[in-house]
Amino acid sequence: MKLRWTPQFKILVVLCLFMLWASINYQNNGAYFVLFLLVSLVVTSCFMAWVNLRRLNITCQSEVDAFCDSELSLALHVENTGNRLMEALHVEIADWELLEATEEIEFVEPGSALTHRLTIPTEQRGRYRVQEIVVSSCFPIGFWRSEKRFPVDVTLTVYPKPAGDQPWPEDTEPDESHQDEFSSHSGDHFAGHRAYQPGESQRHVDWKAFSRGKGMLIKDYRGGGSGCVRFDMSAMSGGDVEQKLSQLTRWVVQAFRDNVDFVLALPDGQMGPARGQRHYEACLRALAVYGQAGRQT
Amino acid sequence: MKFRFLTADFMGAFGLPRLERKMVIQALACFGIALLPHIFHLAWWLILMAAGVALWRWASLRKQVRLPPSSFFVFVIPVLLVGIFLTYGTVTGRDGGTGLLVGFFCLKMLELRNRKDFLVVTGVSYALILAGVLFTQSLLMCLYLLFQFWFTTTCLIRVHGRTHDRKSRTAGSLSMSLIWKSLPLTLVLFVFFPRIDAQLRFSPFDPSSGFADSMAPGSVSGAFSDRSMAFRVEFPDGDVPEPEDLYWRGVILSKTEDGMAWERQPFGVQREVRRVSEVTELQAGQVRQRISLIPSFQRWVFALDHPVIWPDSAETHLGGVVGWPYKIRSRLQYEVISDPDHHSQEMGQNILKRYLQLPQERELTPRVRELVKHWRRGGASDEVVVTRAMQYFKDEEFEYTFYPGTYRRRALDQFLFERKLGFCEHYSGSLATLMRVAGIPARVVLGFQGGEMNPYGDFMLVRKQNAHSWVEVWIEGRGWMRVDPTSVIQPMRLTGGMQWLQDLIGRGFGFSIAGLDFYLFAPGWLPDPISEFLDEIRNRIDNLNRVWDEMLGFDYGSQLKLMGNLGIEQSPKTGMVAILVGLAGAIVLVFWAISLRQNLKLRPEDQVLEQLIRKLKRQGVEKSPYEGVQTYLTRAGKEYPDVREVFDQFIHYYHDIKYRTHAAANRETTVQKMKDLLTQTGL
């Protein structure tokens, strides 16, 4: 735990010297009193600043992920194990150059804990590591800044942003069951509506329902096909790598939503065919770190 | 680079979020509170500017107007500096410095955008508290300034976090407790910080409002309604002089150009004087006085006429002027012994010449010379001439008034034969000139006359409105004799205390702003009982102020005395610094220890838990360091199946307190339940 003065402190020193000069020149006891009171106030506040963070404890979850351009929320468990109110905490991630993530916690009651969600804006896909959380406070009057560092080990995964409007790839292993050329959902029949989730393709939005004011609804197609879709990066045309990754992410999300088997083929490996949560997350992670293996922040 | 006034860039002032509305209101309040004690002595245009700024800022809060752009400040700052320089003659010193601070405060209010700007506001507010103390140190003002200190600190706390105003944990209460905790260190610093008696002066600066050291009856004096204290006198031996002896001698004026306005000349040094510390027994008629003088910004002090035994540190001037080795910038306490019946005998050829020097020839009109010649008729002696002159003032229709208008050309002639209006300065000034024309050495004495005994504090208060001037003439064989022409024109002044003044300017509470008098009550409006009651309150407040002044009078001398009492007489300054460092270190250590302890103390629920763990340990069920409470108690429950449910319940309550806010609210009852469970375990 560190305690050091702030820039304001230096200005205060100048102010106090000026006050001392005036007090001496006018031999004015009132002026001396004001000066000494101010000096003592600063000394006393030093203890308060030190005590403030002394019983702070922070732990946090080890893995967080989000799509790029959305907000990543890192839940911190902030605990005050002391018996004093802890105030004006300033939480940030140490050596975090890429993202600006600083936040204020107004207070933590003595002997209690709270969960603070550190919101981190995401701008670039990839995998990041957070190794240290820094909590500082200028409480109570800002001339001293106490700082406490907490070693943590969090992996933040930022997936590529789902985007792109390339056509849905054809099933590579067509099923024997009935095919309808006119439907993009080969053979699946309409199974009802469900709510639109952000990040999903707008291809299946029921725009007619939307225009009737029912909100964004997705036409769900079920059954029939148990076909397997292949998302192959090398087979894609046009656009740079990032655009391709975005398109792939979009397809993966769509495939997961539609609950179909899919294969993700990247130049450095292939995943699947499979379906379900695990496969989905593994694919997204592979997309997040594609081409930047070992990169850490 | 973007221009910003008063906020250094290294503070990182750019790119901070805008200040919230309620903080702006807070800053406005701080602005008002900081300026209030200064409105009585600030230049009118600064007050107007401050009012304008407050309105502007308020309107901008309501989104009616915009705040000025940066270019505005580039233009306004030089104008401000020039304005302050023209008004006060300097931008440093007490008056100019305060003007500058207020001006900058105003500009900063218009530039108040983010937290860092707000910090500058609090800094200026602290500086203005100090400036306020330099102007007046009355008890009420100091209480007000303490309030301002508290408010400024509250602002500082708010801007650094505690914006929530929860019960008993407001920023205000925290600020109060901070100040309270700061007091021990403050007192140690106050008592043991060596008062440096040198003057660290980089620029000549002096408040304009010192005591007068010359007399120009052409100007209108505002002191007649100033009820504030000039000095306070205690008579340690209990012998209060008679009212007609209450002439407090200050400085003598011996040079005149026009016969009415007088100024002082350098004093000679009086040798072979006795000092107060050399005297133990007083002779009959001598009066010992302990005087506490407000900063006079002059190099002399006052004593009952005529001082015979001098203060220890005084400079001894001829003419009975008690000089001081330096300009008096702070409260001064000294002891002096006077003898009302003593007449100075000092005289010599050089001195005689000085006291016979006449004004310019053109001022002495034939009428004036004729008048003096008339007094000398029949070869009258000096004493007779003086008596005749006094008789002249009495018989002619001279009127005593504070507003005589101005005398410009041939002032003496005009005053004596035409207008005949004036106050003490006119009468003493003209009489001294007339005496010199008659060949009698004469001089004017500036000082105070009168004083009120305070029934509660056993001291005499001499107010600024008691300022007076009289004449001294040299009578061969008797010495310098006091002649007070005012006594024949306004005899009440000598005998009736301040009653005559009350009758003159009316009864009631009055105050004065920038030389204008205001009365809260019209003359004669108050019935006597209330008026007496008010007098009593005034007396009590005066007494309270005396106690306060004694604290403010703490100086290097008092420090030396204290060190003497502590047995440190050699190198007292080193001793003071040593004690200061020692005590301050001790306080810091105590604070450190307290703050260490504060957070080590377990919370009540943890205390109960600790007790349970200790009891279980005695039974052989020890808690491993890595074990959580739940795991541990579950394990203990297996050892003691009978009370397993009690353990479960215990964990439940413990978790409630720790992790559920609503349960934490009635913590006490839950802790009590835990304690009950503890006894139920029967361990």
pLDDT recorded at residue B600: 60
pLDDT recorded at residue B679: 86
Nearest CB to A41; choose among B160, B182, B661: B182
Q: Please confirm whether the linkage preceding B306 is cis (ω < 30° from 0).
A: yes
- Chain B's closest residue to A41, CA to CA, is B182
In the predicted structure, residue B509 carries a pLDDT above the cut 80:
no
Summary mean pLDDT of chain B: 80
Q: Residues B29-56: what's their mean pLDDT?
A: 92
pLDDT recorded at residue B525: 53
Are the beta carbons of A134 and A96 closer than 8 angstroms?
A: no
pLDDT recorded at residue A152: 84
Nearest CB to A83; choose among B153, B181, B599: B599
According to the per-residue pLDDT averaged within each range, which of A118-127, A165-174, B300-309, B525-534 is highest? Answer: B300-309
In the predicted structure, residue B659 carries a pLDDT above the cut 80:
no
**The pair of three-digit structure tokens given for residue A18, joined into one six-digit string:** 């000026």
Q: Tens digit of pLDDT for each residue in B529-544?
A: 776 777 777 777 777 7
- Angle CA B463–B502–B38, to nearest 5: 50
Provide the residue count of chain A: 297
Are the beta carbons of A72 and A63 closer than 8 angstroms?
A: no
Q: Residues B135-157: what's their mean pLDDT?
A: 89
More confident residue, B442 or B269: B442
Are the beta carbons of A170 and A77 closer than 8 angstroms?
A: no
Residues in chain A with CB shorter than 8 Å from the CB of B153 are: 41, 141
B174 touches chain A (CB under 8 A): yes
Q: Do B555 and A29 touch (CB under 8 A)?
A: yes
In the predicted structure, residue B522 carries a pLDDT above the cut 70:
no
In the predicted structure, residue A84 carries a pLDDT above the cut 50:
yes
Q: Do B186 and A36 touch (CB under 8 A)?
A: yes
Residues in chain A with CB shorter than 8 Å from the CB of B148 are: none
Residues in chain A with CB shorter than 8 Å from the CB of B163 are: 106
B193 touches chain A (CB under 8 A): yes
pLDDT recorded at residue B652: 86
- Chain B's closest residue to A6, CA to CA, is B11
In the predicted structure, residue B37 carries a pLDDT above the cut 80:
yes
CA distance B180 to chain A (A): 9
- Chain A's closest residue to B97, CA to CA, is A22
**The pair of three-digit structure tokens given for residue B314, joined into one six-digit string:** 């005084």
Distance CA B364, CA B359 (A): 8
In the predicted structure, residue A106 carries a pLDDT above the cut 70:
yes
B133 touches chain A (CB under 8 A): yes
Nearest CB to B160; choose among A33, A34, A140: A140
Helix, strand, coil distribution of chain B in percent, nearest 5: 50, 15, 35
Summary mean pLDDT of chain A: 78
Which residues are paired to B460 by β-bridges? Answer: B233, B453
Q: Residues B326-353: what's their mean pLDDT?
A: 81
Residues in chain B with CB shorter than 8 Å from the CB of A50 are: 595
**The pair of three-digit structure tokens given for residue B33, joined into one six-digit string:** 């509170």
Residue B348, phi-psi category: left (phi > 0), alpha (psi -120 to 50), beta (remainder) = beta
B525 touches chain A (CB under 8 A): no
Interface predicted TM-score (ipTM) of this complex, two decimals: 0.74
Q: Residues B562-570: what's their mean pLDDT?
A: 82
Please give the model's pTM, rounded to 2 decimal places: 0.65
Q: Considering only A139-143, A188-192, B130-134, B139-143, which range has the smallest mean pLDDT?
A: A188-192
Q: Do B127 and A19 touch (CB under 8 A)?
A: yes
- Angle CA B294–B300–B303, to nearest 5: 75
Q: Considering only A27-31, B50-54, B347-351, B422-426, which range has the smallest mean pLDDT?
A: B347-351
Nearest CB to A141; choose among B137, B156, B554: B156
Confidence band for B162, pLDDT divided at 50, 70 and 90? low
Q: Residues B29-54: what's their mean pLDDT?
A: 92
Q: Tens digit of pLDDT for each residue in A161-218?
A: 888 777 777 765 544 444 443 444 444 556 567 777 776 667 677 777 778 777 777 7
Sign of the torsion formed by the C-alpha atoms of B461, B465, B466 and B467: positive
pLDDT recorded at residue B501: 52
Q: Residues B489-504: what's their mean pLDDT?
A: 51
Confidence band for B166, pLDDT divided at 50, 70 and 90? low
Residues in chain A with CB shorter than 8 Å from the CB of B559 are: none
- Chain B's closest residue to A50, CA to CA, is B595
In the predicted structure, residue B268 carries a pLDDT above the cut 90:
no
Confidence band for B492, pLDDT divided at 50, 70 and 90? low
Q: Residues A86-104: what's their mean pLDDT?
A: 73
In the predicted structure, residue B519 carries a pLDDT above the cut 50:
no
Report residue B676: phi and psi, to 5°.
-60, -45
Confidence band for A43, pLDDT divided at 50, 70 and 90? very high
Q: Residues B228-251: what's their mean pLDDT?
A: 86
CA distance A81 to chain B (A): 8
Instruction: Please name which of B440, B525, B451 lies closest in space to residue B474, comparing C-alpha atoms.
Output: B440
Residues in chain B with CB shorter than 8 Å from the CB of A15 are: 123, 126-127
Q: Considering only A70-74, A135-139, B327-331, B463-467, which range has the smallest mean pLDDT?
A: B327-331
Distance CA A161, CA A69 (A): 7
Find which of A21, A42, A44 to mutate to test the B interface (most B CBs within 10 Å of its CB).
A44
**The pair of three-digit structure tokens given for residue B385, joined into one six-digit string:** 């001439």
CA distance A180 to chain B (A): 57
Residue B410, phi-psi category: left (phi > 0), alpha (psi -120 to 50), beta (remainder) = left
According to the per-residue pLDDT averaged within each range, which of A59-68, A90-99, B171-180, B213-222 is highest? Answer: B171-180
Are the beta carbons of B583 and B186 closer than 8 angstroms?
A: no
Instruction: Please name which of A44, A26, A57, A64 lies closest in space to residue A153, comparing C-alpha atoms.
Output: A64
Which residues are paired to B322 by β-bridges? Answer: B301, B316
Q: Are strands B479-483 and B452-454 parallel, antiparallel or unpaired?
A: unpaired
Are the beta carbons of B419 and B403 closer than 8 angstroms?
A: no
Confidence band for B187, pLDDT divided at 50, 70 and 90? very high
pLDDT recorded at residue A192: 66
Query: What share of chain B in percent tops pLDDT 90?
Result: 19
B18 touches chain A (CB under 8 A): no
Residues in chain A with CB shorter than 8 Å from the CB of B605 are: 111
- Chain A's closest residue to B131, CA to CA, is A31
Confidence band for B31, pLDDT divided at 50, 70 and 90? very high
Q: Tens digit of pLDDT for each residue in B595-642?
A: 777 666 667 777 888 888 888 888 888 877 666 678 888 888 888 888
Q: Residues A135-153: what's their mean pLDDT?
A: 88
pLDDT recorded at residue A224: 47
Confidence band for B32, pLDDT divided at 50, 70 and 90? very high
pLDDT recorded at residue B515: 41
Confidence band for B520, pLDDT divided at 50, 70 and 90? very low
In the predicted structure, residue B318 carries a pLDDT above the cut 90:
no
CA distance A116 to chain B (A): 14
Q: Are strands B262-263 and B303-304 parallel, antiparallel or unpaired?
A: unpaired
Separation of first and last alpha carbons in chain A: 24
- B347 alpha carbon, distance to own chain's centre: 41
Element at A286 (helix H, strand E) = helix A277-289
The 10 Å Cβ neighbour count of residue B585 is: 11
Q: Residues B438-450: what's their mean pLDDT?
A: 90
Q: Residues B145-168: what's their mean pLDDT?
A: 83
Residues in chain A with CB shorter than 8 Å from the CB of B330 are: 26-29
Q: Do B11 and A8 touch (CB under 8 A)?
A: yes
In the predicted structure, residue A251 carries a pLDDT above the cut 70:
yes
Distance CA A141, CA A48 (A): 9
In the predicted structure, residue A296 carries a pLDDT above the cut 70:
no
pLDDT recorded at residue B13: 45
Residues in chain B with CB shorter than 8 Å from the CB of A21 are: 200
Query: What share of chain B in percent tops pLDDT 70?
Result: 83
Q: Do B179 and A37 touch (CB under 8 A)?
A: yes
